[in-house]
Structure 1
Amino acid sequence: MQRPIWRVCAALAMAIGAVVACNGGDPVDTEDELFITATPRQINNQGEASLIEITATKADGLKGTGKVTLKALAGALGNGSLEEQLDLVEGKASTSFTCNKVDPKCTGNVRIDGTWGETTTSVTLVVSGSSTTDGGTTDGGTTPITDGGTGTGDGGVRLTVTTSKATLFTNVGDFAEITASLTQTDGGPRANELITFDTSVGGLQVTSNDPPELSVQAQTNASGQAVVRLVENGVAGTTNVRARHTTSGAQATVPVKITNIQQITYTGTTCGGQACTIMGVNGSGFNEQAQVSFKVVDSTGNPAPGVSVTFTIPNAPTGTTVSPSAITNSQGIATATVSAGPVIGAIVVKAVAITNRVQVDSANIGIRGAKVANQGFSLACDLVNIGVYASANPPAAYNINCKVKVVDRYNNPVGTGTTVNFKVEAGNIENSVATKAYSPTGNNADEGTGTVRFNTTGGTFFPVDVPPLDAAPNQSPFPRDAEPRGPYGQLTANPRDGLVTIIAYTRGEEWFSDSNSNGVRDSGEQFIDQGEPFVDSNDNGIWDSGETYIDEAPADGRWNGPDGTWNNDTSIWTETRMLYTGRPAGNLAGHVYITPAQFAEPCTGGVPKGGLTYVKMYYGDDFFNRPQAQGTAFTASHTASKGAVRVLNSGLLDGYGFGMERRLLNSADQTACTASSAICSWKVLFTDWGNGYVSDAEIKGATAGDTTGCQNDTVTLGTTVLNVTTFSATTGGIQ
């Protein structure tokens, strides 16, 4: 909104009761308003000072910014000259004005002109031989207020008085230094002279150990200066502190406002200059420090500079610290510095200006894991065994959720929201997912996790055909049995032909043990070495030509394996496998059978009365793998009229059906990784093979009191997979 300049002048005249010089004539539109006030409006020409306060407001109502230039027609502004330029803070600025009688113009009306951009205004003071104050108030600020009065007697002296602060605040132990300077009229200092100081509000001290008094005396030093302290005593008001040269009677005053602190508010948290709600634990390299800011205002809502604010963190995680205190700046802002420790948590910073009266808590700040490490980085799918081959036209369509989790070297969830990428040997998967970031206000149960969908359709259907593994009796830490095998068309079938490898990869660091808990890897601390991510399609633990790999550590056109050195910024990865299975291959010898083939010699031995015997059921598919759990059930029957038979498993649990484990091995000799291993690396190990085993079946003899003869018995066991049942039988006798 634009305002006519004559309205500005009229408002100014009403506000200060002074003569206001305006550029007369017709109203001229302007965008801004500038006000200048003088407190007091009448001063003497013997050193009394007036506080000059400036308020600048933009046309849109916002507080003015930039600089204001003041020009006095006589006397001296706060910088000791006729012209002074002031910075606007929250739309305000202040300085002082004195008019010494040695300047012949220091009598009657003296005008001070102000200019802010294109806006001008002025204020007029009355300078006389005696002082009459109007009890006006001052604004906050730390600009020293200078007085330059001249006394009489004793050959003529000049006395000036200044304050280190224009405003004090109650109940915070605030004080200002009041300095009286006594010189000869020719400028020479007057040492060892007695100065009397008086105040009407607060108290005066010569030293900080003295009790506050309304009037004290101090002696000038070699520089002609006497310094006392004006301290607040809990009472608000405005005082003109008077300094009087005892011998000559020369005196000068300086105005100081003592006001109440009204409120402290939290204004924000930054990390590296940017707004943030999350910090990383010590050593993560992510937001390890944060600046938490608070604003203190006085009873008029203006910024309260120079106030000491103390900071604490209630129930801080181990190692997390905060700077103990800070002094508010010219805008009333006090800033705490928080340094994260190695332990995660959620904190608030408590800022206290006046205990139990003026205090506030910051918003929630999370201290979280921030850098992914390759030890706890994991990938797991809701199902691992799926009946993809149990279809007239494979692949059967399956959509499986897989969950990835990212943690730091201390196994804390990484709460920054991390992009994780994926590759598969067969089937189809989303390219990437962003893990859940820490929320200062929400539920963080799934922090650091992300979910993707794996589909059996789309992409490459068949897993890679791989040669069977021979026995490895010296494999550490567990020996490996020879993998089952058999003809399958032109191929040799084995269980690993059904395995599909899925990898997840992201940027992070290779985990290290941090044995001394200093957040930095030191020489000798164990680490997990890892090469570039690759899809291990043939499950042998090494990259082979034709296998997909991620060329980014470094990007040089070839796969790079573990390099034997710890890397703090590299491509890290994890892997999991799914197993494609079918229905039991009843037409293939060695895939579906019961062992032992006879549970007892028919009626030459047989299961004794009251006795039990057991057989094992093997229902392997074309690749010697057991069927999926979902949709699989068992049946059992027998021909004898006595005894009983039952399958011990009521149903299958999801699983591979053979021994496979991703383990850390000592990189030097491929034995088990222990605390003494210098470097370890991940490898998938295979141990024993299930051959399609699904359950034991129990065959029960006749009751102990049975008197009938032995009966031959045929036990028929069945496994139903997705509504198709495969049977097998075993024979024996029931005593």
Structure 2
Amino acid sequence: MHRPILRVGLALAIALGVVAACGGETPEPQAPEFLISANPRQINDQGQISQIDVTAKNADGTAGTGTVVLKATAGVFTSGATEETLPLAAGKASTGFLCNKGADAKCAGNVRIDGTWGTEVTSVTLTVGSGTPPRDGGTDGGTTPKPDGGTPDGGGGTTGTYTTVVTTTKPLLVANTGDTTVVTATVTRTAGGAPEANASVTFNTTLGSFTPAQGTQTATATTDSTGKAQVSIYVANTPPGTARITATYGDGTGIKDLPFSAISSIVYVTGSAKALLGLDSSGRETTTPVNFKITNSAQQPVPGVEVSFEVSGAAGASVTPTAVSDNNGVVSTTLRSGNSVGVAIVKATVTATRGSTPEVSANHPGTPIVGGKPSDTGLSVDCTLKNLGALHALPPPRVVNTQCKAKLVDRFSNPVGLATPVQWYAEAGSINSPVDSRPQQGTTPSADTGDAVTTFSTNGAFPPYAVTPLTTSNPSEMYQGDPTDPNGRNPRDMTVTVIAVVAGEEEFVDGSGSGPTAGQTNGRWDPGEWFTDLGEPLVDRNDNGVWDPGESFIDTERVDCSNPNAPPAKNNRWDGPNGCWDNNTQIWRSIHIVYSGPLYTGAGMASERYLVYTPPDQPYSVPAGGIVDVSVRWADAYYNRMSPDSASFGVTKTGTRGQVSVTSDANAFAYGGFTINYVKREGTTQPDGTVRLGALCDTGKPTPPNSSTSPAATRCVRSAEFNFLPGGQIANVRLTGGSGVGGPVTSTVELKANHGFSTSPVVQFQAIYE
């Protein structure tokens, strides 16, 4: 709170000897002095300018430092704002103020301007009227007023026929440089405030020059129709100080004190920038403030200094080109990413020193611009083990874990460097969800940047959903019993669908198709280009590509392709591919895990094709010194093969004649009864809204007619396609004949399937060694 100034009372006390007579009493300490004056104090509501002058002194009488904040209850300062921060130069500052009722209805009657300097506050009140204001000059009777603060204050103007107000574009200039700013003198008639056109105004300065070289401290300029005359003032390599600029026309003189400040250094403010940014098209954080601090040789902050910014290291990145330091000497720019990855380095240079030797500049250490939003283009999902021995327990499941990973990349195949949550869903068992992808550490991505790794466990819901065969026309699709009976076993009964879901954009092929941009690559999707249309995320437990009752799906906010301006909305039902490229949706992939058990030794082994010998003729006749190879295809109860963890085959025979051996890929991954191809096919919307799948999607050919309009009838659609095989594990048994001495010997060959965690089933067949 501004305290009353008691200079008169204190002087009187000293004159009367009161202080001395009180036996050494300590005199009351002086208070800081903070004054605001306005000239004229009465203005019209048509834009007449009043000069606002500030004087600040410390308690010890020295000139105040720092900045003053002025705030008006109506109207604006000549900067165009209702609040303005002014740096103090030799304890003084000035600006202009006007109140135009056409722009601000509150411009009537008393308008207060409040000032704050540190903990000190004060104010000045102006009277705004619609008529011609009297020539008050700040005192009654039109006499020349005593300037506030006791001395000319670097901003006031004389009162007469004309009023002149001086302002500068910059609040200060940088000493010892070629820094420059525009000086504007606004001349109005004191009576009525009308601008004075075609008036020749004389400018003078005590420091600097009105030309780039030193020596020109007087200049003239003519006012325009708004009463404004302008010249440029240059530091002209002048050392630090304060330039007192005067502008005179007739009996009206305006004064402006302009500091020439010494700048020692500019440094990056550690930690002001974000660690990472996404690409501009990512929908992620794409901007960050980058702050620098300006100080003088005494390491004191310097406010009001213009700084220029530039950025390098990442194509397309940009920065706010210029800014001015605040009360704390801090100046800030905004770094915005482009659509290229890299490390964006912002350089800040005190504008007045650009091109000089040396420049006053600094670099920030760099902000990595990493991959954008996840794109379906490169999304991949896989699990370390996809055949788990969950059926090797009574009751099942045996608890087995495996890691699953989703790899996130953007449309440019850059790994997504920002931590991104990935949701995981499983038909059976359990899976940790959500998990964040690994963010980029440092300035370059590592091999696992963008990886979202989770753990799937068989410990959870059991069993997987029982399904019927997809087709009975394929003799390779194995099944037990009646194919229409869901209790009849087939390989897909123990197949678990797992999906990974993440917010991102659908895949497109830049420059493809036959639309208006065919052959042109611009980094974005354009109508007529091939794209891959996704339905809503679906745990498709019966593998038919569409939702069926009981299946889990994610109801997303979908765009209505026929009305793209409508806000995306949920509809409480599963939706297939919608016919338009979605840049903000839930992208997803499926992967399949098989639960397997001991190889089958129950009833119907041969009739139900659980065990198949090739060649089928038994007993096998092995000639002396000869070789007979027997392929044994052996499946578990669901026609799948052994889980590859610690799996092996062993073989023995009775008798001493000849030899037997076995080879197998028991430790290699395979499902057993099928393989799965994850493909893209042309999908064409039918009249009933379903999508008919056609040929494999060839994005090198033209898109069908009308593909540039939405929704597109034909586009690419993802499909998981099962290819069926005779189920089970193959063991290649080699029978090697002996010397042939003596008659034929019949041997029993025993093939054993081994796992370290369960009993080892055995099958036998006969061989006759000649």
SS of the residue 2:150 aligns to: strand
Structure 1 position 326 matched with structure 2 position 297: no
Structure-2 separation of matches of 1:202 and 1:500: 81
Letter in 2 for 1:361: N
Structure 2 residue aligned with 1:72? none
Indicate if the aligned counterparts of 2:306 and 2:323 stay in contact, CA closer than 8 A: yes
Structure-2 separation of matches of 1:347 and 1:395: 52
Structure-2 separation of matches of 1:557 and 1:503: 20
Residues 625-640 of structure 1: pairs in structure 2 closer than 5 A: 625-638=640-653
Structure 1 residue aligned with 2:82? none
Out of 81-90 and 381-390, give the one that drifted further.
Answer: 81-90
Q: Give, in angstroms, the shift of residue 334 of structure 1.
A: 4.7
- Counterpart selection for 2:534 from 517, 530, 536: 530
Q: Give, in angstroms, the shift of residue 725 of structure 1.
A: 2.2
Structure 2 residue aligned with 1:671? 695
Structure 1 position 591 matched with structure 2 position 610: yes
Structure 1 position 724 matched with structure 2 position 754: no
Structure 1 residue aligned with 2:22? none
Indicate if the aligned counterparts of 1:374 and 1:573 stay in contact, CA closer than 8 A: yes
Indicate if the aligned counterparts of 1:63 and 1:91 stay in contact, CA closer than 8 A: no
Structure-2 separation of matches of 1:556 and 1:193: 73
Structure-1 separation of matches of 2:460 and 2:432: 11
Letter in 2 for 1:175: T
Letter in 2 for 1:305: G
Structure-1 separation of matches of 2:184 and 2:423: 69
Structure-2 separation of matches of 1:458 and 1:622: 21
Deviations 1:285-334 (A, max 9, x none): 33445554444344563444252413122x21x4x232473142665565
Q: Give, in angstroms, the shift of residue 408 of structure 1.
A: 3.3
Deviations 1:98-153 (A, max 9, x none): x999998658xx473xxxxxxxxxxx4257xxxxxxxxxx9xxxxxx6464699xx
- Counterpart selection for 2:364 from 362, 365, 371: 362
Structure 2 residue aligned with 1:476? none
Indicate if the aligned counterparts of 2:421 and 2:434 stay in contact, CA closer than 8 A: yes
Structure 2 residue aligned with 1:132? none
Indicate if the aligned counterparts of 1:533 and 1:571 stay in contact, CA closer than 8 A: yes
Q: Give, in angstroms, the shift of residue 380 of structure 1.
A: 2.6
Indicate if the aligned counterparts of 1:374 and 1:508 stay in contact, CA closer than 8 A: yes
Structure 2 CA distance for partners of 1:170 and 1:713, relative to 1, 3 Å: farther
Structure 1 position 662 matched with structure 2 position 678: yes
Structure-1 separation of matches of 2:340 and 2:171: 45
Letter in 2 for 1:85: I
SS of the residue 2:725 aligns to: coil
SS of the residue 1:626 aligns to: coil
Residues 527-676 of structure 1: pairs in structure 2 closer than 5 A: 527-552=531-556, 553=558, 555-587=570-602, 588-589=605-606, 590-597=609-616, 602=621, 605=623, 608=626, 614-638=629-653, 644-649=659-664, 651-657=666-672, 658-668=674-684, 669-675=693-699, 676=701
Structure 1 residue aligned with 2:373? 371
Structure 2 residue aligned with 1:296? 294
Structure 2 CA distance for partners of 1:381 and 1:222, relative to 1, 3 Å: closer
Q: Give, in angstroms, the shift of residue 684 of structure 1.
A: 1.4
Indicate if the aligned counterparts of 1:53 and 1:92 stay in contact, CA closer than 8 A: no
Deviations 1:18-46 (A, max 9, x none): xxxxxxxx99x99x9854499xxxxxxxx
Q: Give, in angstroms, the shift of residue 381 of structure 1.
A: 2.5
Residues 219-230 of structure 1: pairs in structure 2 closer than 5 A: 219-221=220-222, 228-230=231-233
Structure 2 residue aligned with 1:125? 150
Letter in 2 for 1:527: F
SS of the residue 1:496 aligns to: helix
Residues 386-397 of structure 1: pairs in structure 2 closer than 5 A: 386-397=388-399
Deviations 1:260-296 (A, max 9, x none): 22333445999xxxx8544332333334455544443
Structure 2 unaligned blocks of 5 or more: 12-24, 37-50, 60-65, 74-92, 99-109, 125-136, 512-519, 559-568, 685-692, 704-713
Letter in 2 for 1:620: A
Structure 2 residue aligned with 1:175? 180
Structure-2 separation of matches of 1:194 and 1:371: 60
Structure 2 CA distance for partners of 1:284 and 1:56, relative to 1, 3 Å: farther
SS of the residue 2:493 aligns to: helix
Structure 1 residue aligned with 2:340? 343
Structure 2 residue aligned with 1:682? 718
Indicate if the aligned counterparts of 2:115 and 2:123 stay in contact, CA closer than 8 A: no
Indicate if the aligned counterparts of 1:312 and 1:350 stay in contact, CA closer than 8 A: yes
Q: Give, in angstroms, the shift of residue 728 of structure 1.
A: 3.3
Q: Give, in angstroms, the shift of residue 414 of structure 1.
A: 3.6
Q: Give, in angstroms, the shift of residue 655 of structure 1.
A: 3.1
Indicate if the aligned counterparts of 1:417 and 1:436 stay in contact, CA closer than 8 A: yes
Structure 2 CA distance for partners of 1:86 and 1:690, relative to 1, 3 Å: farther
Q: Give, in angstroms, the shift of residue 351 of structure 1.
A: 1.9
Out of 543-552 and 621-630, give the one that drifted further.
Answer: 543-552
Letter in 2 for 1:351: A
Out of 417-426 and 636-645, give the one that drifted further.
Answer: 636-645
Q: Give, in angstroms, the shift of residue 85 of structure 1.
A: 3.1
Structure 2 residue aligned with 1:44? none
Structure 2 residue aligned with 1:311? 310
Structure 2 residue aligned with 1:54? 56
Q: Give, in angstroms, the shift of residue 585 of structure 1.
A: 0.9
Structure 2 CA distance for partners of 1:90 and 1:453, relative to 1, 3 Å: farther
Structure-2 separation of matches of 1:468 and 1:727: 29
Structure-2 separation of matches of 1:95 and 1:259: 28
Letter in 1 for 2:150: L
Structure 1 residue aligned with 2:214? 213
Indicate if the aligned counterparts of 1:366 and 1:440 stay in contact, CA closer than 8 A: yes
Indicate if the aligned counterparts of 1:401 and 1:452 stay in contact, CA closer than 8 A: yes
SS of the residue 2:410 aligns to: coil
Structure 2 residue aligned with 1:463? 464
Structure 2 CA distance for partners of 1:53 and 1:481, relative to 1, 3 Å: farther
Structure 2 CA distance for partners of 1:502 and 1:351, relative to 1, 3 Å: same
Structure 2 CA distance for partners of 1:506 and 1:33, relative to 1, 3 Å: farther
SS of the residue 1:683 aligns to: strand
SS of the residue 1:125 aligns to: coil
Out of 231-240 and 326-335, give the one that drifted further.
Answer: 326-335
Indicate if the aligned counterparts of 2:649 and 2:731 stay in contact, CA closer than 8 A: no
Indicate if the aligned counterparts of 2:465 and 2:541 stay in contact, CA closer than 8 A: yes
- Counterpart selection for 1:257 from 254, 259, 271: 259
Structure-1 separation of matches of 2:731 and 2:279: 49
Structure-2 separation of matches of 1:67 and 1:157: 27
Structure-1 separation of matches of 2:502 and 2:487: 36
Deviations 1:578-635 (A, max 9, x none): 11111011233332354234699635x4653xxx553323231111111111131221
Deviations 1:207-262 (A, max 9, x none): xxxx513245545547799865432244422154577999x999997543322223
Letter in 1 for 2:376: N
Indicate if the aligned counterparts of 2:666 and 2:729 stay in contact, CA closer than 8 A: no
Indicate if the aligned counterparts of 1:54 and 1:94 stay in contact, CA closer than 8 A: no
Structure-1 separation of matches of 2:601 and 2:97: 107
Q: For this pair of structures, how many residues does the alignment match?
A: 634
Structure-1 separation of matches of 2:535 and 2:97: 71
Indicate if the aligned counterparts of 1:625 and 1:690 stay in contact, CA closer than 8 A: no
Structure-1 separation of matches of 2:238 and 2:398: 84
Structure 1 position 352 matched with structure 2 position 352: no
Deviations 1:448-491 (A, max 9, x none): 333333332333x112222224366xxxxxxx663112249993
Structure 2 CA distance for partners of 1:91 and 1:269, relative to 1, 3 Å: farther
Structure 2 CA distance for partners of 1:289 and 1:162, relative to 1, 3 Å: closer
Normalising by structure 2, we get a TM-score of 0.67
Structure 2 CA distance for partners of 1:67 and 1:648, relative to 1, 3 Å: same
Indicate if the aligned counterparts of 2:306 and 2:324 stay in contact, CA closer than 8 A: yes
Q: Identity percentage over the alignment?
A: 25
Indicate if the aligned counterparts of 2:401 and 2:455 stay in contact, CA closer than 8 A: yes
Structure-2 separation of matches of 1:55 and 1:630: 84
